[in-house]
Amino acid sequence: MSEFPNWHGTTILAVRKAGVTVVAGDGQVSLGPTVVKSAARKVRTLQNGKVVAGFAGATADAFTLLERLEAKLETYPGQLARACVELAKDWRTDRYLRRLEAMLIVADREGLYTVTGAGDVLEPEHGVAAIGSGGQFALAAARALADTELDAETIARRAMAIAAEICVYTNGNLVLERIEA
């Protein structure tokens, strides 16, 4: 058995449509079957609002990764893809970072990426990406709604509501950030 508690939670969803990208995150943090926080903020803006990031996983680990990402963005201004690749390389090869347990979704005006500790920097198909315990539910719902006349924010809100109805580790307390092209 692990020495760390069995933390669950988080659904992060990004939807890009018609020049608008919305990143939405629920607020629930659970320890086993207990909700320990219902209004956590897992979506943040970086670089004075030019980049939006959402995280799933261990909070301290995610904050460490967000700090590293901000440093990479300062080194490579306006190059989100390169900053993400450099972060992923460090994450995979650095002895300390390798132990971090989190995932990120990051977006700016031009790009949308999922970044993992396995060295992955994935640009999703169909303008939709999701991570976390309810991520697959939110992803499926958003993909189903993507071809409708709904805008990115409405799709994100509806998909997150569906995920919250299905995943016990996801709630309806949303934080949404948007970036327009």
Active site residues: 10
CB within 8 Å of 111: residues ≥ 6 apart: 80, 81, 123
- Cα separation of 109 and 9, whole Å? 28
155 touches 142 (CB < 8 A): yes
Per-residue DSSP letters for 152-175? HHHHHHHHHHHHHHH-TT--S--E
Helix ranges restricted to H, 4-112:
59-75, 80-93
- Cα separation of 14 and 25, whole Å? 9
